[in-house]
Amino acid sequence: MILRGRKVVGGYAEGEALVSPDPVSFYGGVDPETGIVTELGHAICGESIKGKIFVFPKGKGSTVGSYVIYRMKKLGTAPAAILNVETESIIATGCVIAGVPLLDRLDANLIKALKTGARLRVDADEGIVEVL
């Protein structure tokens, strides 16, 4: 299966999908040291986003979250790429400053079409996501 979407930050990544139906706050919601989602009650609380193709609807919470994405990249705990349904400024800013590939507005309902554990190839420059 191939999905096409909008490039926000270019780059290339391959990895395992982690799909969250809930929006994500990187500030206070993810532990940058480990890459584990820590927000209580969150759909993927306890899961690690490190090295994953992280799929979620959009960001939420404090704009400080942008810096957390940058910090995770430096620590090696950042996702390999992010796919949003419709991104917003916190995630977009974080991905630009950290250099994490980011796509949104794909031609399928991401949250339903992609399953956690699936292997994905993301060519953000071309706006393409391939399920391997």
Partner 1 sequence: MYLTREEEGMLAGERGPGVSKAMELLVALGEVFGAERLVPVESAHVSGVSYKNLGEAGLEWLEEQAGLGAKAVIRATLNPAGMDMVRWREMGVPEDFAEGQRRVIAAFEAMGVEPTCTCTPYLVGSVPRPGSQVAWAESSAICYANSVLGARTNRESGPTSLASAVTGLAPLYEYRLDENRVPGKLVEVEARLTDPLDYSALGFVAGKLLGSTVPYFRGLGKPSLESLKTLGAACATSGGIALWHGEGVTPEAENMKPHLAGLEKVTVEDRDLEEAEEKLTCEVSDPVTCIGCPHCSLREVGEVARLVKGKELGRRLWVFTSRGVHAQADEEGYVRQIEEAGGRVYVDTCMVVAPLKEMGWREVALNSFKGAQYCANMGLRTKVASAKQLVKETLR
Residue 98 C-beta: closest distance to partner 1, Å: 9
Contact between 119 and partner 1 by CB under 8 A: the answer reads no
- Is the Cβ–Cβ distance between 78 and 52 less than 8 Å? no
Residue 3, amino acid: L
Using the rule CB under 8 A, which residue among 9, 19, 24, 122 binds partner 1?
Answer: 9
Comparing CB distances to partner 1, the nearer of 28 and 117 is 28
3-state helix, strand, coil in the chain (%, to 5): 20, 30, 50
Among residues 4, 20, 86, 22, the alpha carbon closest in space to that of 52 is found at 20
Comparing CB distances to partner 1, the nearer of 16 and 86 is 86
Question: Active site residue: 20, 25, 48, 62, which one?
Answer: 62
CB environment 51-72: b (16+ within 10 A), e (fewer): bbbbbbbebbbeeebbbbbbbb
Q: Is 62 a catalytic residue?
A: yes
Q: Which residues bind partner 1 (CB under 8 A)?
A: 6, 8-9, 32, 62-64, 66-68, 70-71, 74, 87-90, 92-93, 95-97, 104
**Catalytic residue positions, numbered:** 62
